[in-house]
Structure 1
Amino acid sequence: MTDEQQREQPSGVWATAVGVARVRALETEREDALFRDPLARAFAAAGGLWPSSPPPGDEAAHRRRLAVSFSIVIRTKFLDDLLEQACASGVRQVVLLGAGMDSRAYRLDWPEGTRLFEVDTAVPLDFKDSVLRQEQAVARCERTTVAVDLREDWPAALAAAGHDPTAPTAWIAEGLLIYLPQDAVELLLTRIGAQSAPGSRMGLTLGSRGVLERFAADAVPGSAASMWVSEMPDDPVHWLAGHGWEATAHTLRDRAAAYGRPITTPPQREEGPGGLISALRR
């Protein structure tokens, strides 16, 4: 039986990772792309999202989809830069939490000796690996997959896979926290902190204030927005300080402008704290 026949088609929360891959594939085709992800199209095609046309919907739904896609592009560039800075500071361990269809192990230029751990449940990791085999993809660093549910004892599974908590780590939680209730977010941050040596870095994406009201309230059942449950705290920098991190918060608008993709429409409400977070463990 071929990999194509064996693949379990995306469903539930992890299906959104294939949708993210489709957005990254579309960005990769732009002449002025902020990043290139040559594997994204293969992930999207394997999940049945390439080629495809946008789902039917009214103009408001179309605008929401464009807004979500735009945020994915900007956050991808933001976290790519964060990882580059972490490596420049000497970090040689990277952990992607809820890795989904992330292909950074294959598309970024990693310093020699970098070890990258992808943490996710077994089904999406198996799906992903079948695509990687089909594409004959070769990782640019030492890549290790850790099949575990983040609601379980993932630090033990990560340690068993070879993660060294005494060495600095770059942690990435991209498009993840918005799907977790607040108590699960707090537990995740506590566990990350316990595995983070001084000099560790962390990149987070947080649901902006009001995002549930604007996007999730009338979301189509089964869509990504219908599964969103949490927003950022009123003061994310103070919140992360309580977890032992020195954080900087950026808005999507300010990062988009910095990357040459300015948002030209005025904000619908007063700009609050940013949902793109970089943090350092002293």
Structure 2
Amino acid sequence: MPIDCPSTTALRVAIRRAAHQVLDHPRIFDDPLALRVLCLDAAAPDRSWLDDTPLVRVLRASLAARSRHAEDMLQQARQQGLGQYVVLGAGLDTFACRHAADDGGDLRVFEVDHPATQEWKRQRLFEAGIAVPDHCTFVPMDFETQTLEETLRQAGFDSDRPAFFSWLGVTMYLTAEAIDATLRAVAALPTGSGIVFDYMIAPELLSPRARAAFAGMADRVAAAGEPFRTFFAPALLADHLRELGFGRIEDMSPEALDDRYFRNRVDGLRAGRLAHLMTAWV
């Protein structure tokens, strides 16, 4: 599958999201565009992308659960009338295209990502024949060198209205300073705003088995040129979010994710043990 892709991790995430649509039943997360955006055909002779090793199954389950949880949280916000959704580090996320104007209502979607990754996504959508709806705005940004507030404002984001943010598969690759700047920007928004993001647990807090899995994963992403940079202790992160001005906070451990999304499955699909999902509301 020759794809000119500037982000190895973004491509891997997209492939595993597509594989989830084919391999796992019932699905945790439905994405009817996941295969199309990669020009994949589950019936084609080449099925090498449908890797189903124990490690890949855990990664695939974790990705499906975090995407499902983010969109569940967005739905909660939408029920309160929220009209702005910001996808940080969007990669090949298809939410905006799956929710076109006819069922998206007045929801505006802002996709924020590195310029090179965003250009790659635009090409993928074009080649797959997937239209970008009018309510979706692409916002190119480098989290390490640009500020979220100004970049969004220039794209038409209304900072006087509540917004919900999803930030998946990103924080572990950023510096602590860049993460803090983004969280402060969200915390400064009106009441009703919120963010969901995943984060890696500090290695010293992991079990020996989980620490070994972490070491292997860290080596792989570093070899791909995208090393892990930042990790958190859950209790300290929750305290910091409250200091920034967030009120209601929900920190979901892998066990909590399993209970919410994988209960009573007979295929043994479970989330990985290296990361948590944090949801914080202003």
- Partners of 1:216 and 1:228 within 8 A in 2: no
Match of 1:142 among 135, 139, 147: 135
1:180 positional shift: 1.2
One-letter amino acid matched to 1:133: F
Aligned length: 262
Residue 43 of structure 2: aligned partner: none
Indicate whether 1:248 and 2:250 are aligned: yes
Using CA pairs under 8 Å that are at least 6 residues apart, name the structure with larger relative contact order, 1 or 2.
2
Counterpart residue number, 1:91: 82
CA drift of 1:213 comes to 3.9
Instruction: Name the CA distance, whole Å, in 2 between partners of 1:25 and 1:197.
Output: 36
Which residue of 4, 16, 19 maps to 1:9?
4
Which has the larger displacement, 247-256 or 202-211? 202-211
SS of the equivalent of 2:200 reads coil
- Identity across the alignment (%): 23
Q: Does 1:200 align with 2:193?
A: yes
1:178 to 169, 172, 183: 172
Task: Report the CA distance shift for 1:78/1:90 in structure 2 as closer, same or farther (over 3 A).
Answer: same
8 A contact 1:249–1:275 mirrored in 2:
yes
Which residue in 1 is equivalent to 2:277? 276
User: Whole-Å Cα distance in 2 between the matches of residues 101 and 265 of structure 1?
Assistant: 23
Question: In the aligned structure 2, how far is the partner of 1:36 from the partner of 1:232?
Answer: 30
CA distance in 2, matches of 1:22, 1:103: 13
TM-score, normalised via structure 2 length: 0.80
Q: Is the 8 A contact 2:91 2:118 kept in 1?
A: yes
The amino acid that maps onto 1:89 is: Q
Normalising by structure 1, report the TM-score.
Answer: 0.80
Is 1:39 the counterpart of 2:33? The answer is yes
Q: Aligned-residue CA RMSD in angstroms?
A: 3.3
Gaps of 5+ in 2: 41-45
Tell me if 1:81 matches 2:83: no
Give ranges in structure 1 of 5+ residues lacking alignment: 56-61
- Measure, in 1, the Cα distance between the counterparts of 2:215 and 2:225: 8
Moved more, 106-115 or 227-236: 106-115
Query: CA 1:21/1:221 → structure 2, altered by over 3 Å: closer, same or farther?
Result: closer
> 2:198 and 2:29 mapped to 1: Cα distance?
18
Q: Give the distance between the partners of 2:191 and 2:221, measured in 1 at CA.
A: 42
Offset at 1:51?
4.1
AA paired with 1:33? R
Alignment pair present for 1:115 and 2:113: no
Aligned pair partner of 1:127 in 111, 120, 124: 120
Q: Deviations along 1:139-180, whole A, 9 cap, x unmatched?
A: 567000011211213321210110001000001111111111
Instruction: Report the residue type matching 2:36 in the other structure.
Output: A
Aligned with 1:214 (options 200, 212, 215): 212
1:52 counterpart residue number: 48
1:26 matched to 2:22: no
Which residue identity does 2:251 align to in structure 1? A
